Amino acid sequence: MTPQTLDALPTALDYAALSKDELTERIRRRKAELDAVILGHNYQRVEIQEVSDYLGDSLGLSQEAAATDAAVIVFCGVHFMAETAKVLSPDKTVLMPDLRAGCPMADFVTGDALRRLKARHPDAAVVAYVNSTAEVKALSDICCTSSNAVRIVESIPRDQPILFVPDRNLADYVAEKTGRTNIIAWDGYCYVHDDLVLDELDRVQAAHPEARVVVHPEARRELLERADFVTSTSGMVDLAEDHDALIIGTERGLVDRLRQRFPEKTLLPLSGAAICGNMKMNTLAKLAWCLDHGAHEVTLDEGIRSGAERSLRRMLDLSGGWRAPTAEEAELEAAGVRPRGCGCA
Ligand code: SF4
């Protein structure tokens, strides 16, 4: 990799020897030189969130990035999220600190496997959760988020079968909410949410009976049935605004961020072990290396990019489309209060 600045160090390991202040200073300087914005997903390490220009879920972040004039987007998240940024901003350079930061749920379904399933169900509509690769989105009729999945599925004629990829738990939740029996779910899942279990909830609830329970729809049905609220990560941010005590069933990164923001509240992780190791592959050292070396760039075949854009835009049109935030919304967002978006993705 060719360094793009004279004081670049050869490897991310060399950057890891620098102090947090040195890394932060270097990141801020290079970001300005490159005309870059840094997008930090809700599940990123706190030190990454601290240097991010925007925080949120992947689709919201990609939309923010598409609306800026910046030439370079550095996506601190997992691979399908950086792909979504590229889909919506084809003329911008999209970089990731670590290309190996993939999403095991997205990787459950490949383009070839989906082609084979479509061939067996030629009349079915394909709904792809945004936690999927660009290729899978391009092969789908429409995308959905965990916030709008029910509405998207309800927009499809009731007698038309649906292939729902890749999250079996979200598919199950949508089937239950819509009463549809013709949803064929891919057998994929998010290991972070699928691993949340009732025993852990029982323990936290016994210690904090006053706390309401909110769980992400990527979790299993038995947990959703015990929850007071089922919503996306952005919906959880809204709930934390309104409640003094919450048990939160999602990745620790979001819970930690909310605890920092509302230190006076009782905000508890449903499981202390709910950590996405893939998200945590991005570090401050790798981010500094990425900016100094102009790597790793995420590129897409134009046919795949435009196909994925079509599925995403269909979803956005059905959800009222996307518009730039008003001044009031931008102010709320700067204070960490985001409008409802999707889940991990
Ligand atoms: S939290 Fe789950 S869905 Fe999100 S990146 Fe990690 S494995 Fe994928």
CATH number for the domain that contains residue 169: 3.40.50.10800
Q: What is the pLDDT of residue 332?
A: 44
- Residue 275, Cα to own-chain centre: how many angstroms? 14
Note every long-range contact of 236-241, with CB atoms under 8 Å and residues 24 or more positions apart, other chains counting: 237/336, 237/337, 237/338, 238/337, 238/340, 239/212, 239/214, 240/265, 240/267, 241/337
Say whether pLDDT at 329 is over 90.
no
Domain boundary among 189, 211, 242: 189
Measured in Å, residue 281 CA sits from the centre of ligand 1 at: 12
Q: Is the CB of 278 under 6 A from ligand 1?
A: yes
Task: Please state, in angstroms and rounded to a whole number, the distance separating the CA atoms of residues 44 and 291.
Answer: 17
SS3 state of residue 203: helix
Q: What is the pLDDT of residue 299?
A: 97
DSSP letters for 35-73: TEEEEEETTS-HHHHHH-SEEE-HHHHHHHHHHS--SEE
Residue 238 lies in a domain: yes
75: nearest Cα among 53, 103, 107, 50: 53
Say if residue 83 is in the same domain as residue 110.
Answer: no
Q: What is the pLDDT of residue 344?
A: 54
- The pTM for the full model equals 0.89
Q: What is the pLDDT of residue 321?
A: 55
Q: Which residue has the tokens 């401050």?
A: 284
Better pLDDT: 265 or 42: 265
Q: What is the mean pLDDT of residues 123-143?
A: 97
The pLDDT tens digits of the residues spanning 35-84 come to 999 999 988 998 999 999 998 887 888 888 888 889 999 999 999 999 99
The pLDDT tens digits of the residues spanning 150-206 come to 999 999 999 999 999 999 999 999 999 999 999 999 999 999 999 999 999 999 999
Look up residue 305 and give its amino acid.
R
* Total count of domains within the chain: 3
What is the band of 257 on the pLDDT scale with cuts at 50, 70, 90? confident
Q: Is the CB of 236 under 6 A from ligand 1?
A: no
Q: What is the pLDDT of residue 268?
A: 97
Residue 2 lies in a domain: no
Q: Is the CB of 192 under 6 A from ligand 1?
A: yes
Say if residue 91 is in the same domain as residue 116.
Answer: no
Q: What is the pLDDT of residue 57?
A: 81
Say if residue 78 is in the same domain as residue 61.
Answer: yes
Task: Please state, in angstroms and rounded to a whole number, the distance separating the CA atoms of residues 44 and 62.
Answer: 16
Residue 341 contacts by C-beta under 8 Å, 6 or more apart in sequence? 56, 57, 59, 60, 145, 147, 232, 233, 234
Measured in Å, residue 75 CA sits from the centre of ligand 1 at: 15
CA-nearest residue for atom 3, ligand 1, is 190
Say if residue 144 is in the same domain as residue 208.
Answer: no
Task: Please state, in angstroms and rounded to a whole number, the distance separating the CA atoms of residues 339 and 252.
Answer: 20
Residue 311 lies in a domain: no
Torsion angle, CA of 11/17/22/25, rounded to 10 degrees? 30
Q: Is the CB of 141 under 6 A from ligand 1?
A: no
DSSP summary character for residue 23: H
Measured in Å, residue 9 CA sits from the centre of ligand 1 at: 31
Say if residue 253 is in the same domain as residue 229.
Answer: yes
Cβ neighbours, 10 Å, residue 214: 21
Q: What is the mean pLDDT of residues 281-310?
A: 97
Say if residue 256 is in the same domain as residue 241.
Answer: yes
CA-nearest residue for atom 2, ligand 1, is 190
Residue 24 contacts by C-beta under 8 Å, 6 or more apart in sequence? 50, 51, 284
Q: Is the CB of 169 under 6 A from ligand 1?
A: no
Q: What is the mean pLDDT of residues 217-237?
A: 92
Domain boundary among 155, 189, 223: 189
Residue 337 lies in a domain: no
Measured in Å, residue 327 CA sits from the centre of ligand 1 at: 32
Q: For residue 97, what are the domain limits?
A: 12-103+279-300
Residue 3 lies in a domain: no
Residue 333 lies in a domain: no
